[in-house]
């Protein structure tokens, strides 16, 4: 039991000792713990986005607008030893650079994951130089297209998407990814 000793008045003869019954509180705590343990989720999953960039169907009542082709980053992962980064708008190539494929393994055993920190660093630098949508009020994102070898495992693909999402910008004050990722159809 929890006891509370309260000093009586100065001239009084005895102190006022009152005891709070703590048993209901302990019962409540145990009920809370049981409920939270039963409903607990121990494996937290997340997701990584990609967008197919499907154009909306043309409206017959409107003349289609002529849109200037935007600068896009193509990340080619078709060679075993390197990534090729190409900035182009339409058929015009603005810049081409290469990054040596240096996978860094994270985790142990069957949970081993591959990451490409060098690629992420290079993409960050490239976006700083060639990226078109950096303004805080700009709702658009730069487009990244992944051109991947058909035999590449999905884990490699995710590692490259993760590297593309490394550069961050802000949109209306909130953190946002600089790129929107899609896949090359070939």
Partner 1 sequence: MSAKPHRHFEHEMIKQPGRRLMHHVPLKFVQKRVQGGGGKGVNASLNLTSFIDFLIVVVVFLLMSFSASGEVPLDKNTKLPSAENTVDMVDAPMVAITGTQILVDGTNAGSTRAIEEAGRLMKIDELHNVLKNKRELWKQLNPGKQFPGVVVLQVDKRVPALVVKSVFQTAAFAGYPNVSFMCGQIPKTDKGPPGGAHH
Q: 77: how many CB neighbours lie within 10 A of its CB?
A: 20
Tell me if 175 sits within 8 A of 168, measured CB to CB: yes
* CB nearer to partner 1: pick between 66 and 122: 122
**CB burial class (10 A; 0-12, 13-18, 19+) of residue 138?**
middle
- Euclidean distance between CA atoms 122 and 130, whole angstroms: 12
Tell me if 152 sits within 8 A of 91, measured CB to CB: no
* CB nearer to partner 1: pick between 100 and 134: 134
CB of 62 to partner 1, least distance (A): 19
CB of 132 to partner 1, least distance (A): 11
- 150 to 69, 139, 153, 156: CA distances (angstroms): 27, 33, 8, 11
Which spans of this chain sit near partner 1 (rule: CB under 8 A)?
Answer: 1-2, 22, 25-26, 29-30, 32-33, 36-37, 39-41, 43-54, 106-107, 110-111, 113, 115, 120-121, 124, 127-128, 131, 134-136, 148-159, 161-162, 165-170, 175, 177-178, 183, 185-186
CB of 100 to partner 1, least distance (A): 19
* CB nearer to partner 1: pick between 10 and 172: 172
* CB nearer to partner 1: pick between 31 and 93: 31
CB of 9 to partner 1, least distance (A): 28
In which element (H, E) is residue 44 found? none
- Euclidean distance between CA atoms 168 and 41, whole angstroms: 29
CB of 185 to partner 1, least distance (A): 7
* CB nearer to partner 1: pick between 11 and 110: 110
């Amino acid at each position: 039991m929890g006891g509370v000793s309260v000093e009586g008045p100065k001239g009084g003869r005895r102190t006022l000792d009152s005891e709070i019954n703590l048993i209901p509180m302990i019962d409540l705590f145990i009920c809370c713990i049981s409920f939270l343990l039963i409903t607990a989720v121990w494996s937290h999953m997340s997701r990584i986005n990609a967008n197919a960039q499907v154009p909306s169907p043309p409206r017959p009542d409107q003349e289609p607008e002529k849109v200037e082709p935007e600068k896009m980053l193509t990340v080619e992962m078709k060679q075993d030893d390197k990534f090729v980064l190409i900035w182009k708008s339409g058929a015009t190539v603005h810049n081409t650079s290469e990054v040596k494929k240096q996978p860094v393994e994270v985790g142990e055993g069957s949970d081993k994951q591959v990451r490409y920190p060098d690629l992420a660093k290079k993409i960050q630098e490239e976006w700083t130089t060639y990226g078109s949508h950096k303004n805080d009020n700009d709702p658009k994102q730069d487009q990244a297209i992944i051109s991947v070898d058909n035999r590449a495992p999905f884990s490699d693909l995710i590692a490259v998407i993760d590297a593309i999402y490394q550069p961050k910008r802000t949109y209306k004050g909130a953190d946002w990814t600089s790129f929107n990722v899609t896949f090359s159809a070939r």
